[in-house]
Amino acid sequence: MVDSDIKEMRRLVIKSFHITEASFSDKTEIMGQSLYLRKNIVDDITKDEPLIHSVNIEIIKPNEHDRWVNSIMDIIPISAKVLGRLGEGITHTLTGIYVMLTGVDTEGVQVAEFGSSEGILKDKIVLNRPGTPGENDIILLCDVVLKAGEGSFRTGPTAAHRVCDKMVQEIRDKLKKLNGRYCTEKHEFYDVIKPNRKRVAIVKQVAGQGAMYDTHLFAKEPSGFAGGRSIIDMGNVPIIVSPNEYRDGAIRAMH
């Protein structure tokens, strides 16, 4: 796979499973290209969440973008660690469906920091970008309503990410169990040392100031929330991430 003078440090395999249909059902399941989400999942994910008034989960089909959404807090891939730790081993990910987290409070104040994106969905998102769903993708909307005023404290948006992650975790637990042989695509990535080349680093300056302005790193699951460490809590100092850790979802954008 790699040239003779290149030293291989670790290998990451990302296997994707393509989804073309999503609907609510009695239990969460992935069957063929269909994702079923437990219809009463909201009751469980909002338990012990005192800052959250309610959560509304919806499936938005590709031709249904002429509709209202609250301010878009994040777009999140559904990925799960199957083998190894972040940056190595095997990760499963779904394509054709992405999670959209939106937030508002009971007073109608949007959860946003520096301009907000509530409105008619088709006017509020540019599709087919690296960070947005494609035009044929399904959007799994997780719309969180915080209690009045909670969006202005760091704990409010953090709670919204947490409940959304609990929903995704139920899907991840099924995604982990899929037989890798039946994946739609398989991509192999290597962390390598290439001697005698120009040495280059990428520096990413990320949000780190407070409510709707935070970045988490190294969650337990790819692009996850649980177990992640806040760049604010780490004093905003530079943290080194390997290319494979990065592409295995080391970063959760909390802004």
Q: Which residues bind another protein (CB under 8 A)?
A: 3, 71-72, 74-77, 79, 98, 112-117, 123-127, 129-133, 193-195, 197-210, 213, 215, 217, 222-223, 231-232, 234-243, 246-247, 249-253, 255
* Minimum CB–partner distance for residue 21 and another protein (Å): 21
Alpha-carbon span 81 to 227, nearest angstrom: 13
Residue 216 has φ and ψ, to the nearest 5°, of: -105, 150
- Backbone CA torsion sign across 243, 134, 84, 230: positive
Tell me the two tokens of residue 155.
């704990």
Residue (105 or 118) nearer to another protein, CB: 118
* Minimum CB–partner distance for residue 241 and another protein (Å): 5
Alpha-carbon span 18 to 34, nearest angstrom: 9
Residue (28 or 208) nearer to another protein, CB: 208
Residue (42 or 207) nearer to another protein, CB: 207
Residue (77 or 84) nearer to another protein, CB: 77
Q: C-alpha dihedral over 119, 63, 16, 194, to 10 degrees? A: -60
* Minimum CB–partner distance for residue 126 and another protein (Å): 4
* Minimum CB–partner distance for residue 11 and another protein (Å): 14
Q: Which of 253, 238, 100 shows the shortest CA–CA distance to 167?
A: 100
**8 Å CB contact between 151 and 212:** yes
Residue (28 or 223) nearer to another protein, CB: 223
Residue (1 or 200) nearer to another protein, CB: 200
**8 Å CB contact between 140 and 22:** yes
Contacts of 253 (CB under 8 A, 6+ apart): 74, 206, 207, 215
* Minimum CB–partner distance for residue 137 and another protein (Å): 10
- Backbone CA torsion sign across 175, 181, 182, 185: positive
Q: Which amino acid makes up residue 16?
A: S
* Minimum CB–partner distance for residue 96 and another protein (Å): 13
